[in-house]
């Protein structure tokens, strides 16, 4: 029987379960490209519940315990004395989320001789040292597409929030003011702007589709080009390089996975090539941007605004410069963990575990690493190597 070690974010400060705003969520059976949403044999939760925090347990406990497995759920993930490190040595399966990542570094993998499956409850498995996972014969899987549209909606929201100066204007209301000139003096229309995405995968192309009706110029760069008919339909211009894209765009959104090719792609040099007063929205991974270069660009005015929900490491230390730099619209890592998304990623985790324990193949599109190499979605979107370096700094958050 297997031990499943599951790392989830903390419950709400006001207690669990929360008071829900709505009774139900829409039922979605297929994504835009026809892929079906997760198809587990059954689920033991009500879609719309908070499943991603510790007490939600991704709705897995009765399923695993009825089959005789052990489930350990914790949010204590960083540092040598964490529950995660203590429970890791005899775990066969580790489940983690990008929002509150249990970094599976090479050192940690070496301490886990029983480990066979690293499962991401969401999308983006860069918190796992994929090189070490390949070398140790682990399977790494994630729930491809489960929250891609959740993020695309968030990207559109953040572009509008930055360009229209929404957050500072809202703050004037909270402060009891009516300061129209203060609100308007940094507020523009998105209409007519040039908007580009770095990567046009599931999220990037969903952002392009959503922005088309805004009557903007659309641009993208990617390792593989979209079909000509899709480019025509969207009216989107392809750029061979990120450099060529950022030079012409007023707004840039990053939608690529984090892997050695994209780590620190937005450094001083690339940000320095952006138009003066451009906006940068990054909901992909914090480490795709150089932390200090972004903060300096917000201070100098090179960037008129920066927004996103991804940081490195996570949770971000309290003195992380993105918490205090000017003109930012940062949130904690939330875009892919709406209650709607949680229902899909919890069902996807259940589907993958059913396959794993019944020795049935996991869907190809869910695989990142398998059989000692990049596989499935991972073979398409990632490159070999490791992007977890520096993750030990996450322990500073708990230390205060
Ligand atoms: P996809 O795999 O559908 O898309 C990723 C795209 O990135 C692919 O088109 C891939 O290209 C492209 N890409 C990879 N490397 C490069 C590169 N060096 N330069 C340009 N493009 C590149 O994934 P999703 O769109 O669903 O998700 C993308 C990322 O967004 C995830 O990996 C994750 O990091 C992040 N994410 C964040 C969430 C959040 O809550 N904030 C939630 C979900 C995802 P190709 O395949 O053509 O090689």
Q: What is the pLDDT of residues 124-175, one digit of tens each?
A: 999 999 999 999 999 999 999 999 999 999 999 999 999 999 999 999 999 9
Atom of ligand 1 nearest to the CA of 283: 41
User: In sequence order, what are the residues at sequence separation of 6 or more whose Cβ sits closer than 8 angstroms to the Cβ of residue 342?
Assistant: 49, 50, 51, 52, 56
User: Max CA-CA distance within the chain?
Assistant: 65
**Ligand 1 site, residue 285, Cβ cutoff 6 A:** yes
Residue 61 vs residues 8, 33, 308, 323: alpha-carbon distances, Å: 14, 32, 33, 36
Which residue's CA is the nearest one to ligand 1's atom 20? 222
Q: Taking the CA of residue 209 as centre, how many other CA atoms within 13 Å lie in the half-sphere pointing to its CB?
A: 15
Using the predicted structure, report yes or no on whether residue 198 has a pLDDT greater than 80.
Answer: yes
pLDDT for position 129: 98
Atom of ligand 1 nearest to the CA of 336: 40
pLDDT for position 17: 97
Using the predicted structure, report yes or no on whether residue 383 has a pLDDT greater than 80.
Answer: yes
pTM of the entire predicted model: 0.98
pLDDT for position 117: 98
CATH of domain 148-330: 3.40.50.720
Which residue's CA is the nearest one to ligand 1's atom 47? 224
Using the predicted structure, report yes or no on whether residue 62 has a pLDDT greater than 90.
Answer: yes
Q: What are phi and psi of 44, to 5 degrees?
A: -115, 40
pLDDT for position 398: 81
Using the predicted structure, report yes or no on whether residue 376 has a pLDDT greater than 80.
Answer: yes
CA pseudo-torsion sign 350, 151, 213, 22:
positive
Measured in whole angstroms, the distance separating CA 365 from the mean position of its chain's CA atoms is 17
CATH of domain 3-146+337-399: 3.40.50.720
Instruction: Outline where DSSP puts E strands in the chain.
Output: 3-7, 70-74, 93-96, 117-120, 139-142, 194-198, 217-221, 236-238, 251-254, 278-282, 303-308, 328-330, 367-370, 373-374
Q: Separation of 18 CA from ligand 1 center, angstroms?
A: 32
Point out the residues that are catalytic.
147, 285, 314, 333
| 3-146+337-399 and 148-330, same CATH topology | yes
Which residue's CA is the nearest one to ligand 1's atom 41? 283
* Of 396 and 327, more confident: 327
Where in the chain are the domains?
3-146+337-399, 148-330
**Ligand 1 site, residue 127, Cβ cutoff 6 A:** no
Mean of pLDDT values over 287-294: 98
Using the predicted structure, report yes or no on whether residue 75 has a pLDDT greater than 90.
Answer: yes
Q: What is the pLDDT of residues 264-282, one digit of tens each?
A: 999 999 999 999 999 999 9
As given in the structure block, the two tokens for residue 20 are 């829900």
pLDDT for position 247: 98
Mean of pLDDT values over 295-315: 98
CA distance linking residue 157 with residue 152, whole number of Å: 9
Please, are residues 310 and 333 in contact by the beta-carbon 8 Å criterion? Answer: yes
Atom of ligand 1 nearest to the CA of 256: 7
Residue 291 vs residues 38, 169, 203: alpha-carbon distances, Å: 35, 26, 23
Percent residues over pLDDT 90 in the chain = 99
pLDDT for position 399: 78
pLDDT for position 237: 98
Which residue's CA is the nearest one to ligand 1's atom 1? 201
Using the predicted structure, report yes or no on whether residue 400 has a pLDDT greater than 80.
Answer: no
């Amino acid at each position: 029987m297997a031990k499943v070690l599951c790392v989830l974010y903390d419950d709400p400060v006001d207690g669990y379960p929360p008071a829900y705003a709505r009774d139900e969520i829409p039922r979605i059976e297929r994504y835009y490209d026809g892929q079906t949403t997760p198809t587990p044999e059954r689920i033991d939760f009500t879609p719309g519940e908070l499943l991603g925090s510790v007490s939600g347990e991704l709705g897995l406990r009765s399923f695993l315990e009825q089959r005789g497995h052990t489930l350990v759920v914790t949010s204590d993930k960083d540092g040598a004395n964490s529950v995660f490190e203590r429970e890791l040595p005899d775990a066969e399966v580790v489940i983690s989320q990008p929002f509150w990542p249990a970094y599976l570094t090479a050192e940690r993998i070496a301490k886990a001789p029983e480990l066979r499956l690293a499962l991401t409850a969401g999308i983006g498995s860069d918190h796992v040292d994929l090189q070490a996972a390949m070398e140790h014969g682990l399977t790494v899987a994630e729930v491809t597409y489960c929250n891609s549209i959740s993020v695309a909606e968030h990207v559109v929201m953040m572009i509008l929030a930055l360009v229209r100066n929404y957050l500072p204007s809202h703050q004037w209301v909270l402060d009891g003011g009516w300061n129209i000139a203060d609100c308007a003096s940094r507020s523009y229309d998105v209409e007519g702007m040039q908007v580009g995405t770095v990567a046009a995968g599931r999220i990037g192309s969903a952002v392009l589709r959503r922005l088309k009706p805004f009557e903007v110029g659309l641009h993208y760069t990617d390792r593989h080009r979209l079909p000509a008919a899709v480019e025509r339909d969207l009216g989107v211009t392809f750029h061979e390089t990120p450099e060529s894209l950022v030079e012409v765009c007023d707004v840039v959104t990053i939608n690529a996975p984090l892997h050695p090719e994209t780590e620190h792609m937005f450094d001083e040099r690339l940000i320095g090539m952006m138009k003066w007063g451009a906006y940068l929205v990054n909901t992909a991974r914090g480490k795709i941007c150089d932390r200090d270069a972004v903060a300096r660009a917000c201070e100098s005015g090179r960037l008129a605004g920066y927004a996103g929900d991804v940081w490195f490491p996570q949770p971000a230390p309290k003195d992380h410069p993105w918490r205090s730099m000017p003109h930012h619209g940062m949130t904690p890592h939330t875009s892919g963990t709406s209650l709607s998304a949680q229902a899909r990623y919890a069902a996807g985790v259940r589907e993958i575990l059913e396959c794993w324990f019944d020795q049935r193949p996991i869907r190809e599109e869910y695989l990142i690493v398998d059989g000692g190499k990049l596989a499935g979605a991972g073979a398409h979107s990632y490159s070999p190597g490791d992007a977890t370096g520096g993750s030990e700094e996450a322990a500073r958050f708990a230390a205060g």
